[in-house]
Chains A and B, each alone.
Chain A
Amino acid sequence: MYVAVILILVAVGTVVFHFMSPWWWTPIASNWGFIDNTIIITFWITGVVFVAVILFTAYCVLRYRYQEGRRAEYEPENKKLEWWLTGLTGVGVAGMLIPGLFVWNQFVNVPAEAAEIEVVGQQWNWSFRYPGKDGVMGTSNVRLINDDNPFGLNPDDPNGRDDVLVDGDDLHLPLGAPVKVLLRSIDVLHDFYVPQFRAKMDMVPGLVTYFWLTPTRPGTFDILCFELCGIGHHAMRGSVVVEAKEDFEGWLGEQETFAQAMRRTGTDKALALRAQQ
């Protein structure tokens, strides 16, 4: 008796906890509301199954508890019942998978108008790069990285000269404009995640990975590293500021470009010298 009651309490308690929980996802700040919707569909389908299975188990425990001398019913198979259950499960699975794949299709297809930005991860901080006025990112190579060139940009690539480098400051994004976030790591795996954006991707040394989003809500949000990257993993944090386009452009104009950085460090002179020789 009490076993069945406790099973029912577990099922009911789970549902109550679900609806009462103060811990729930953060208010969304990007276009990926579709992901939230897919989660809600999944919740309903799986929730119904969970409650039904537990309650049915509790019913069986209650109704068919042991009685001396009684025999269990002998019915090794019931094809019809099994087909029905398989079919219904298939429908439920399709109900979750199909919307999921539609949203994934959006996730992997970056809109043509998305502006590129780059996030570079290393143990244990973030830095950011914008393509500058020409809208094209300069090429980069890990082998070119040194104290004067922390991004490893190719000084001979004209596209890179006007790239805006942000090291030790927040990432800024314009409100309402799609961005393709290019991700690069120079040492170990990292993962760029802003909980309010819902989208994340690992940063893999040797590869450039990406995802895209459209920020939809102004504000300052936390950036967290979401792939274990050594003892400082939990301290690898940053901030992203989503602001109106004018504010964003004003801020961007104040940042140093690669050409300016080279001038500051004297790298450009050495380069010019090399070119003369």
Chain B
Amino acid sequence: MNIVATPMHSHATDNAVLAPNEGAPLSSHGLMKFYDGKCVLRDVSLELQPGSVLGLIGRNGSGKSTLIRAMLGLIELDAGEAQVFGGPALAMSDAVKEKLGYVPQQPDALAWMRVGQMLDYVGRFYPHWDRAYVEHTLDRWMLSRNQVLAKLSPGERQRVELIRALATRPQLLVLDEPAAALDPVARRDLLRELALRAADAGTSVLFSTHIVSDLERVASHIAFLHEGRLLLHTALDDLKERYARLQLPAALASQGPFAGEIHRRRLDHGGLSLVIERDADRDWPVIAREGEAHLDVLGLEDLFVEIAG
């Protein structure tokens, strides 16, 4: 694979919901993680700005879950530093933990409890536990309080965990593949909830997914993880305007790399398919004006497939 990208950072300019003045909800620098000699995270640096919704995208096994666990201090790192609200992730204070809601990818915790029992028990630990929200949302999502958690379908289980995380009124919400087990209606409901949380309380959200359409709705920023490396980190709107696919005929295929080229893929008939980026003046690189070249503005999903495929 031929990727010549460096992580790109940009910030949303028109931020209506500014968070209080404190350290970034999540920030990590140079994260490295090896499992059995295999490198799962390679020098990943990522920051979550207050009030932003960061979608972490990548193929299965690209290291998304590991990155999330590392950023929250759930695993030890081989190198690098992770911080939550300005303090080390591996030594979070109760004050920081109270502001954090986390839902792991396949939640199994307290599976022997009943729905209501688990929510009551976990609620004891959070001073800002929103009991009314729990009651209201259980009804709205048609979940029975008396069912044993292990007996729920994966989608129902996921929704109970989302209620658990949201009822703490978190300032930082971290969701690992929250939508994977949900049906389209429940998924839209979750996205709406995230959007409203961001609007009302300025909640910062980090969520991982491989379902691109979820991310396109609700994310303000996107980070693209590929084989343990962070390829892109940018505002979502910028992404769509800044990158495009350029198809070149066989005659030009041997040249390059061209200015503004991010990724190249050789086509069957000998041509080239490039992913290119606008230059500093927001113009497409020179190669795009070549007569035989064909420029396509890409949706996120196509861009994802183009780079990761």
Q: Do A and B come from one complex?
A: no
What residues make up the interface of A, taking CB atoms closer than 8 Å to B?
A: none
What residues make up the interface of B, taking CB atoms closer than 8 Å to A?
A: none
